[in-house]
Amino acid sequence: MNPSLEGVKNSLYSRKDPNLTAIDIEAHAEIIYNILKLKTKHNVSMLGHNYMEPLVFGLSNSKEQGDSLGLSIEASKTDSDYIIFNGVPFMAETAKIMNPKKTVLVADKSAGCSLADNFGADEVKALKEKHPNIPVMIYINSYADAKAECDICCTSANAAEVAESMPGDEIIFVPDIYFAENLERELKGKKKVIYPGKNNSVKGAICEVHEQFTLDDILAIRKSFDIPKGHPNRMMYVHWECKPEVLEESDYYGSTSQIRLNIANRVKEGTIERVFIASECELTSNLAQEFPTVQFSTACSVRCSHMAKVSLFKILRILEAIDSGKDLSEWEVTLSPETISTAKRPIERMLSLSS
């Protein structure tokens, strides 16, 4: 059903978001209305990553919202010919790998990622040469050509389980260095983790967003917002890509989807009143809208400049191009059939573990 402009405004006004002012709503309602109208007209699957700013995130229905892998799997269920992935290009690549027959589009192909951009297939090959016959596990936050060189993929929700499933006492993990250190700690000596920079000269990568949280920040936040460690109803959530000492100070660490689920369960149980999330700020904005009874403490300026390149205006341009039958190459994510088939193997191997 087509939305009306009034319907869009009412739905924006009904959001319990203290940051969404009447000026914002009046300024953005029309563009949102035009996007939703064309999305419905062309049956476009519009996927929204958890780090999208709330007005972009809200263009997707709840099934279309989530983390990059969950969204790519969701996309494989759609009957739409077009998938617009509101996230950065490596995420859209995963959607393309999982849905090779569909047209996958991304609002800004120049949006990068400090993890994916700084680590590629050559670095994987160098590590394999230095450490032969050891399985290579790659974090989903990487480009397809790097994935194609690896044995198995993982997400921040399943890294330890995936590592343990691999043969042998050692595993090579790429590309995130803090993630590798956190994984090593999680595995408690069950498996040795080899990663970039550890007894080799291969350069790894880190997430420039999660890197910004320091142990001193977390301790200061606990004090300022009165979130003492171990409190039954107040939680310090930390993302896996943060530094190991930051993870150790958390009350719960995990992927964005795991953090969301933990909050949802605690809301059901009535065991949550105040939280801080050490992750991209917009995750907090989106969860604050979803769980209005929880007090989300935030003084947040930790944003991903790459994710922020996705805007309502750019999304509308894609839909207008679809509507007028224009060339979509400015936004279309393309991969060779060979890359699709080789990069799909490590993803499918990971998925087979949970099926």
CA torsion through residues 25, 27, 28, 29, sign: positive
Burial 12-30 (b: 16+ CB within 10 A, else e): beebebeebeeeebeebbe
C-beta of 282: minimal distance to ligand SF4 in Å?
10
**Shortest reach from residue 15's CB to ligand SF4, in Å:** 24
- Considering the complex, state which of residue 141 and residue 289 has its C-beta at the smaller distance from ligand SF4: 141
Q: Looking at beta carbons only, is 105 or 113 nearer to ligand SF4?
A: 113
Nearer to ligand SF4 by Cβ, of 12 and 277: the residue is 277
**CB of residue 253 vs ligand SF4: minimum separation in angstroms?**
16
Half-sphere exposure of 199 (CA within 13 A, CB side): 6
- Size of the chain, expressed as the number of residues it contains: 355
SS3 assignment, position 45: strand
Least Å distance, CB 339 to ligand SF4, is 20
Question: What is the binding site for ligand SF4 (CB under 6 A)?
Answer: 88, 113-115, 141, 207-209, 280, 304, 306-307
Closer to ligand SF4 by CB, 34 or 156: give it.
156
Please, what is the minimum distance in Å from the beta carbon of residue 142 to ligand SF4?
10
3-class SS string, 68-113? HHHHHHHHCCCCCCEEEEECCHHHHHHHHHHCCCCEEEECCCCCCC
Q: How far is the CB of 90 from ligand SF4 (least distance, A)?
A: 8
Residue type, position 76, single letter: S
> Residue 21: CB partners within 8 Å, gap ≥ 6?
none
Least spacing, CB of residue 340 vs ligand SF4, in Å:
22
Smallest gap from Cβ 279 to ligand SF4, in A, equals 8
Contact in structure between 194 and 172 (CB atoms under 8 Å): yes
Which is nearer to ligand SF4, 99 or 255 (by Cβ)? 255
The values of phi and psi at residue 82, to 5°, are -115, 135
CA–CA separation, 289 and 267 (whole Å):
13
Which has the closest alpha carbon to 140: 285, 289, 350? 350
Nearer to ligand SF4, 256 or 297 (CB): 256
Eight-class DSSP state of 178:
H
Peptide bond before 346: cis, by omega within 30 degrees of 0? no
Helices (H), the chain: 5-13, 22-41, 54-57, 68-75, 89-98, 114-117, 121-130, 144-147, 159-165, 177-187, 215-224, 244-248, 256-269, 281-290, 312-324, 337-354
Closer by beta carbon to ligand SF4, 93 or else 280: 280
C-beta of 113: minimal distance to ligand SF4 in Å?
A: 3
